[in-house]
Amino acid sequence: MNFLKYFILFKAILSHWKLKGETGATHKRKTLEESVEYIKRVFNDYLQYGGLTQEDILDKTILEIGPGDNLGVALLFIARGARKVVCLDRFLCKRDDQQQIKIYEALLQTMDEKERQLIEAAITRTQEKIVFNSEKIQYVSGLSIEDAEKIFPGNSFDYIISRAVLQYVSDLEKAFHTMDLLLKEKGRLIHKIDMRDHGIFSSQGMNPLEFLTVPDALWNCLGAHAGKTNRQRINFYRDKLMHWEYDYMLFITHVMGQNQDIVPHKLIIQKGLDYSDEDIAKFNSIKPRLLKRFKILSDNDLLISGIFLVASKSFDPKFCPAFGGAKYRD
């Protein structure tokens, strides 16, 4: 088993160089219809789980971390009346400009006249590409969220959002410190976080938690492009939000061993409904081999492999009223 594990890691390390520059290329293999559906689903998730209404978006400034190869989500926020969306990417993601033009055109077809007018003010279309009005949509590449305070002043953003990005941040402690500095009072953090191994071991039929047995020195040889995550579990995010005294909810999106996300996402998971005896057996078989910092976590914290984090900076009576301000309970 150890030989197989380290052989798989070695292949993943080599693949890092082949995949370099392709991180975030979500739309590369999607059809036009799939791209539009994906953008709208991501946007609607921010609204639903972030508790955002039309009024909440109006005239707000938003920081989107890791938008990847398409800025469609930013356009949808502009269409709903946001003042400005800043899209921050650590890496410069490759884009197919002709594909992007088709995606933006298809998005426009789904909007009413008022929304189209707001988007038209944010973009300039040519035959070659879409050019964004930086007063409405600003794209910044080559800068990580950890270092964003170098170019943005404190209290700059009403909302800081991301999807499947925070698990790749190498210094998550610093990232949360920076987000706290950049977020306005009563601002919200809205992040979907995938805490799985991204197929490194699980795609080979190995235990879904096998990646939590790999020593840090070896794990750090991987790059983010090869699927390396920071391996933080739900306890990190919960403890961090409690430390900053944020009002928060941690919706559970995925449980170890399951193929599909839990939809709708929920605050509490239940045996027999969200995970099975088979999942528990897999969990118990690997727990003795986990690194010490994972081994001491509660079973619940280890079973949870995906979350949708929603948090409000300081008390806000409007914070996710549909859920009564309930917080995650272990």
Q: Does domain 31-194 sit in CATH 3.40.50.150?
A: yes
**Predicted pLDDT at 322:** 43
**Predicted pLDDT at 328:** 40
**Predicted pLDDT at 294:** 97
Of the candidates 296, 303, 297, the one whose C-alpha atom is nearest the C-alpha of residue 208 is 303
233 vs 303: CA distance, rounded Å: 10
**Predicted pLDDT at 330:** 38
Query: Can you give the residue ranges of every domain in the chain?
Result: 1-21+200-229, 31-194, 241-312
13 vs 247: CA distance, rounded Å: 39
What the block records as the tokens of 6 is 């380290």
**Predicted pLDDT at 6:** 65
Q: Is 82 helix (H, G, I), strand (E, B) or coil?
A: coil
Q: What is the dihedral angle through the alpha carbons of 281, 285, 288, 291, rounded to the nearest 10 degrees?
A: -90
Q: What is the mean pLDDT of each run of 10 residues along the chain (330 residues)?
A: 67 56 63 94 96 96 94 96 96 80 91 93 85 95 95 97 95 96 96 93 89 90 71 96 93 92 94 90 93 94 96 75 43
**Predicted pLDDT at 224:** 56
Instruction: Specify the DSSP class assigned to residue 155.
Output: S
Tally the residues of the chain: 330
**Predicted pLDDT at 130:** 87
**Predicted pLDDT at 286:** 94
Q: Where are the alpha helices (DSSP H) in the chain?
A: 2-19, 32-50, 54-57, 72-79, 97-109, 113-120, 172-182, 216-219, 234-243, 277-286, 292-295, 299-303
Q: Residue 264 burial (CB < 10 Å; 0-12/13-18/19+)?
A: exposed
pTM over 0.85: yes
**Predicted pLDDT at 165:** 95
